[in-house]
Amino acid sequence: MTGETFFSRASELRDRPNFRTVLSEYCHDTIAPAEIGWPTHKMLNQAGRYLVSFMLIHNDHAWRRHGGQRPTLTALQAMVGSSPRQTAAFVATLKAARYVTVEADPDDARLKCLRAAPPLVAEIGRPGRLFVAAMDRLAHRQPGLAGVLDDSERLGELVYRSASHVLRHGMLTEPFPRILRLTRRDCGYPLLTAIVGAHYAASVPDAPSATPLSLRVLADRLRVSRAHVGNLLQEADAAGWFRTDGRCLTFLDPSLLREFELWAACQMIFYDDLASEICAEPRGQGAVPA
């Protein structure tokens, strides 16, 4: 996700007449209740823990479909920024919740391979799928590509290819400092989508209605404490990013809105390009017998 051509495509996409209507629907879908249960949903809405799950799915697909190394805990610990103990503890939580299974390597039973269960793939792949769905709406595609990603293997392949890009080129959020800062806080990014969605609800025709921005509603929707939501809102106010009156949005920094819109346009193009490649391939292409 680098280069002048890519950002030129994103700028052109952002300038389309229906872009903000589609983006308002993306914000509405992002803040909608997730299918995955408590407490794992909350745990995945923080960058470090999300990255562990993201790379776990990458390693699983790299091994099963692309001839990569075995997806062991040791291999995962070497790839992520958290300490080996933190990574092991989080993987143990995912295993206890049955979002990760452990399989013995068929060639060496002493090696234990981590495999993401479909519900974890669905949650980690959800952001990319929502961006593809947004591009479907923007391009008026019938049928769209997002529907193909309902298949867990293909959605896992989307995560794998996205993670491969991150390993080669760095995090996709790096050109967007305020987006990056919010993703590093528990549920910071979903809160931002609620804020932007509220702005669009008040300014864009046909935008979905806003999520009420009270501490109670946001805490319930994000599955965190009211105190945590209050801290996020206070920090954003102090930084001059956005402000609420306890229920409604009263201020949104125009430069933050522009950053979010360019970020979203980049993500739409990035994931749509990957989805187009995946959907153009035969269903089993790239599979490596286990």
pLDDT digits (tens, 9 = 90+) for 258-269: 999 999 999 999
DSSP 8-state symbol, 33: P
Assess whether pLDDT exceeds 70 at residue 38.
no
pLDDT of residue 82: 83
The confidence band for 104, taking pLDDT boundaries of 50, 70 and 90, is confident
Q: How far apart are CA 141 and CA 108, in angstroms?
A: 47
Q: With pLDDT > 90 as the criterion, what percentage of the chain qualifies? A: 72
Q: How far apart are CA 262 and CA 127, in angstroms?
A: 16
In a domain, 63, yes or no: yes
Assess whether pLDDT exceeds 70 at residue 44.
no
Q: How far apart are CA 272 and CA 253, in angstroms?
A: 28
The confidence band for 32, taking pLDDT boundaries of 50, 70 and 90, is confident
β-partners of residue 244 are 249
What mean pLDDT do residues 90-118 have? 90
For residue 173, give its domain range: 4-34+126-280
Task: Specify whether 177 is located in the same domain as 196.
Answer: yes
The confidence band for 288, taking pLDDT boundaries of 50, 70 and 90, is very low
The confidence band for 15, taking pLDDT boundaries of 50, 70 and 90, is very high
The alpha carbon of 190 is separated from its chain's Cα centroid by a whole number of angstroms, namely: 10
DSSP 8-state symbol, 147: G
pLDDT of residue 283: 62
Structure tokens at 142: 């019938």
β-partners of residue 105 are 108
pLDDT of residue 173: 82
Say which residue, 217 or 282, is predicted with more confidence: 217
Task: Specify whether 97 is located in the same domain as 223.
Answer: no
Q: How many CA atoms lie within 13 A of 147 on its CB side?
A: 6
Task: Specify whether 110 is located in the same domain as 238.
Answer: no
Domain count, the chain: 2
In a domain, 43, yes or no: no
Task: Specify whether 75 is located in the same domain as 135.
Answer: no
Structure tokens at 210: 């806003």
pLDDT of residue 48: 79
Q: Which residues of 39-137 form beta strands (DSSP E)?
A: 100-105, 108-116
Task: Specify whether 104 is located in the same domain as 166.
Answer: no
Task: Specify whether 175 is located in the same domain as 208.
Answer: yes
Assess whether pLDDT exceeds 90 at residue 117.
yes
In a domain, 40, yes or no: no
Q: Which candidate, 16, 31, 47, places its Cα nearest to that of 213?
A: 31
This prediction has a pTM of 0.90
Q: How far apart are CA 242 and CA 182, in angstroms?
A: 12
In a domain, 250, yes or no: yes
In a domain, 290, yes or no: no
pLDDT of residue 249: 97
The residue among 119, 136, 151 that closes a domain is: 119
pLDDT of residue 22: 97
Q: How far apart are CA 142 and CA 50, in angstroms?
A: 32
Task: Specify whether 23 is located in the same domain as 147.
Answer: yes
Q: How far apart are CA 211 and CA 193, in angstroms?
A: 10
Task: Specify whether 203 is located in the same domain as 274.
Answer: yes
The confidence band for 224, taking pLDDT boundaries of 50, 70 and 90, is confident
**Please, are residues 46 and 190 in contact by the beta-carbon 8 Å criterion?**
no
Q: How far apart are CA 190 and CA 278, in angstroms?
A: 27
Q: How far apart are CA 100 and CA 182, in angstroms?
A: 27
DSSP 8-state symbol, 3: S
Q: How far apart are CA 41 and CA 150, in angstroms?
A: 19
The residue among 101, 119, 137 that closes a domain is: 119
pLDDT of residue 43: 55
Q: How far apart are CA 221 and CA 29, in angstroms?
A: 12
The residue among 119, 134, 163 that closes a domain is: 119
β-partners of residue 242 are 252
pLDDT of residue 47: 72
Q: How far apart are CA 35 and CA 57, in angstroms?
A: 18
DSSP 8-state symbol, 253: -
How do strand 249-252 and strand 100-105 relate by DSSP bridges?
unpaired
In a domain, 163, yes or no: yes
Task: For the chain, give the mean pLDDT.
Answer: 89
Q: What tens digit of pLDDT does each residue of 157-193 get?
A: 999 999 999 999 887 788 899 999 998 888 899 999 9
Q: Cβ of 135: how many Cβ atoms within 10 Å?
A: 25
Q: Which candidate, 48, 72, 78, places its Cα nearest to that of 60?
A: 72
pLDDT of residue 289: 30
CATH number at residue 72: 1.10.10.10
Task: Specify whether 115 is located in the same domain as 257.
Answer: no
The confidence band for 125, taking pLDDT boundaries of 50, 70 and 90, is very high
pLDDT of residue 36: 56
The confidence band for 1, taking pLDDT boundaries of 50, 70 and 90, is low
